Structure 1
């Protein structure tokens, strides 16, 4: 098993120190946990021991006790991470840790909640991130990015079903590498903030504009449909 590099579709992986030693060269891991295992086995803290792990997908059940969330830890080798978490999963507990991963360039978060209803990014984090996707993250009302340098290499931003978030931080539009924004079933104010970001970029770059925005509406809205241009698609 020492040569095993990909392990996918595993349910209830009872990860321990011995397991890490048996499969030390894992590079891609896809695991689904259920309630019974999470309550019985402390396994999330051992993820950081996979020193060659580059791609990780974790899917959790409908409820995860916060004490297990606080034990989650990831190796610095991680480049791609997808977390499918329940609505009680508190994202503030892990976002600072994720932001400190030096090689992470692709991050997808599906589910979870912000207990403070706010997310303020920290300087010096997410230094390598190129794709950020947030879906169904409940209670997020205010996203603050103090400087565009907080996501210096961001190229793609995907936001899905963020009903309470009022706007995309204007600083996101100042990121030089940003190429696409995708809004899927977000509210009207989010769409308008994306339009404003695009217009600011057009003023700066004119015909050389590289930013493209795609908006997928939950329900057809004639006023929003009228905003469509070649760089601002609305469906």
Structure 2
């Protein structure tokens, strides 16, 4: 199994967390997004979208982190990252989608590059743009974690929601956002950053990290 990714990619980060939580062994194939490596012909042959992550397994290539995470959950059932009750599973998926659909896509490298290149945005403008989407998203997520969490984002064990939350907190600080406004999220982060699966997935510990 080979994970094609980039050390600072939030979507790659969330897949690394899930792989580690499941205890699945994998190799890494890094692609430096800053250099456009994801658009190289050999990588486009694997993933025509030219984005990371992509997971190569058993002669197939799985793309898009939500699909990869669902595949992992269906293929490696222990430990589960979704609860047993259907309504609870929907709640966890909703918490994950709050980040994966409504926050992260608006502050990924492609969007930020367009802001700088096409609209002349400086770093302060980029930071303000990222905050425009992160702050209300985290406000909502804080309420959900306080409602449903018991040490983790949902319940008392890591879930799919945590695979999304921890990378997004890491990203928020890159945009100079003060995360002290969300103590519930920070409590989850404190627990996660003491957990081996999250420690090993951290961007700074990846083979291609600066």
> Do these two structures clear the TM 0.5 threshold for a shared fold by scoring above it?
no
Higher relative contact order (CA 8 A, sep 6+): 2
**Normalized per residue, which structure has more strand?**
1
TM-score by length of structure 2 reads 0.31
TM-score by length of structure 1 reads 0.28
